[in-house]
Each structure stands twice: as structure tokens, then as C-alpha cells.
Amino acid sequence: MHSHHSHSGQFCQHAADTLEEMVLRAIDLQLSLFCLTEHMPRYDVVDLYPEELESKTTTEDLERTFSAYITEARRLQEKYKDKIDIIVGFEGEAINSEYTKYINNIFAQYKPDYFIGSLHHTSGVPIDFDQENWEYALTHSATDAKLINKLGGINNLFLTYFTEFKKFITEVDPKPAVIGHLDLITLYSRGVKILKVPLLIDAISDLIKTAIESNCLFEINSSGVRKGRAPYPDTLVAKMIIDLGGKFCLSDDSHNVDQVALNYSIVCDYVQELGIDTLWRLKLGDNKITHESFPVTDFRNWVEKINPPSTTK
């Protein structure tokens, strides 16, 4: 089985365990593909997270860390090539349009295999770091009073998020091979889910269509379960992706060895509840990324054989 999204404590301050330990755990669980996707460096000091400010991390430190990550990831890719497929990538940022341009520079300098297109900020504010920042984004992301009155504050925040996400996919070059946790904006919404508000549904639909046209896979990300919700994306968004012809891949968004393939049994049930019969994975050959399909029954057979770890905490 596969994971297209992972982090390690060696190169991410809110994770644990070394990159090699993550790979070895994936091998133990008989994954056939494990993608390495540490965060891209942020180059503006205003975009440092509280944990980085506390540890006195600089943007130069982030750049050095990312360079060291690529070197180690390539070493592991070669070392374990007979045991597991490793694809070396990174998780992109779209804090603003300048970061979108910076992704092109990363490809030119480091030559990764691919990247995950994720959105961790709305109007420049982190929306998955903590409740406080999410609440700040809620009150500062909307500038159109008429729109706020029409949608309500939280739906307007959702609208801003999905609109910015589409803009990111439209502008970035090269395009992401995978779209990360598409409805991450709901993480701190205190149980408020995306409503079928026409303006909002249209924005999500436009984003999905843009990603499909850009040949992106959509990850079903099991980390939502350990965060007390359904896998990303939730049912409404997942069904929109299905209806529009999108293709799904699997991710655990692991941040330590215990989270590798965590809750994949729950994801398998979720996939089948959605009526999905085919999943996809990335394939690397001749320095080119392609897609390969496999039946959901293969996923079910792996779950029954491996009995992957499961928890909601």
C-alpha cells in the first residue's frame, strides 16, 4: 500500500523520529510506496511559526534544513530501492503569490520528484496551527461586507480558502502531483461543516476542476481521523471530486513512526462507503511522475493482512 504525504522530526519541528526510521516503519508495514514530503522552507520571517520563533529558528536555518532533507531523502531512496518505492518531494506553501513563484525556484535548485499542493494559510494567516490563529483568520480574511452578510462569517472564510487554493493551483508551475487535505480549513471550525451555499459550492467546484485539468491526484488523508474528524476530504467535498471525475490516492500525513498508515482501516471503510472502486498512486520512472491505478479490493486485502494501527487520538 502507499502514502503520498509524510514528515519526520529530523526535518520538521512539530514531528518526531528520523527520516530513516519513518522509511523503515513503512517497510515493516509492507507499504510499496512511501513519499517523503517535508515542508518547503518559508523565506519571510513574518511567516515563521511560534515553535520556530521559540527555538530561535531563522529562515536561513529552514533553507539549510530543507537542503539537508533532500540529500538524506535521496540517500534513502537509493538505499532502500529494492524494498520500497520512495519518491522524494515536498509539501508546498501558498501563503501568497511570491511563495507560488518560489516553488519554481525549489525545483530548479533541488530537483525534487514532485510536490504536494497544500494550503495552510488563508489571507496569510495559519489555519491549521492552533485555534487562536484560525479564529484570527475568521475575523480577518473577509473584506467584502456584503459577502459576509450573504454567507455568514465562517462560510466566507471557507470561500476565501477555496478561492485562494484555486489561485494557487492556477498560478504555480510546475503543477502539484497531489492536492493535500483539500478541506483543511474545517480543522478548527468547532464541528461546523461546509454547507451547500451556492457561492461556496461553486468555488469548491472550480478548485476541483482546476486541479483535475492540472492532472492532480486528490489525497484521502487519514490524519483527519486522529484529529477527531473524518479523513480529509469530508463526504461533501469527496463526493464533489467523484462527480467531477477526480482521482484519489492515499496519504497518512504521518509525523512520527506511530502514524505511518495509521487509521488506514478506517480510510478503507470510508473509501468503500463513498463507492470508490479504483484508487491511484504515483509512479516514478525516467525522472517522470505518472499515475497508476489499482482496485480498492487490493487496499482491503492489505488492511486485512497487515491490520494497520488505528486510533482516534
- Which pLDDT value is given to residue 37? 97
In a domain, 313, yes or no: no
The CATH number assigned to the domain holding 85 equals: 3.20.20.140
For residue 128, give Cα distances in angstroms to 23, 134, 213, 248.
26, 7, 27, 22
- Which pLDDT value is given to residue 148? 56
Compute the Cα dihedral for 63, 64, 69, 75 and give only its sign: positive
Give, as one character, the DSSP assignment of residue 233: S
User: Which pTM does this prediction carry?
Assistant: 0.92
Which triple of cell numbers denotes residue 226?
Answer: 486522529
Boundaries of domain holding 118 = 2-306
In a domain, 96, yes or no: yes
- Which pLDDT value is given to residue 151? 58
- Which pLDDT value is given to residue 48? 87
Phi, psi dihedral angles at 48 (to 5 degrees): -70, 145
Say how far apart CA 5 and CA 33 lie, in whole Å.
Answer: 11
In a domain, 95, yes or no: yes
Preceding amide of 50 cis, omega within 30: no
In a domain, 312, yes or no: no
Q: Tell me how many domains the chain contains.
A: 1
- Which pLDDT value is given to residue 144? 57
Residue pLDDT tens, the chain, 313 long: 999 999 999 999 889 899 999 999 999 999 999 999 999 999 888 888 888 888 999 999 999 999 999 999 999 999 999 999 999 999 998 898 889 989 999 999 999 999 999 999 988 888 988 898 888 888 876 555 555 555 567 888 999 999 999 999 999 999 999 999 999 999 988 888 888 888 899 999 999 999 999 999 999 999 999 988 899 999 999 999 999 999 999 999 999 999 999 999 999 999 999 999 999 999 998 889 999 999 999 999 999 999 999 986 5
For residue 8, give Cα distances in angstroms to 223, 252, 311.
15, 13, 20
Identify any residues that bridge with 217 across adjacent strands, giving them in sequence order: 178
The string over 201-216, giving b where at least 16 C-beta atoms fall within 10 Å of a residue's C-beta and e elsewhere, is bebbbebbebbbebeb
DSSP string, 198-230: HHHHHHHHHHHHHHHHTT-EEEEETHHHHTTSP
In a domain, 37, yes or no: yes
In a domain, 311, yes or no: no
Phi, psi dihedral angles at 87 (to 5 degrees): -115, 130
Phi, psi dihedral angles at 96 (to 5 degrees): -160, 180
CB count in 10 Å sphere of residue 179:
29
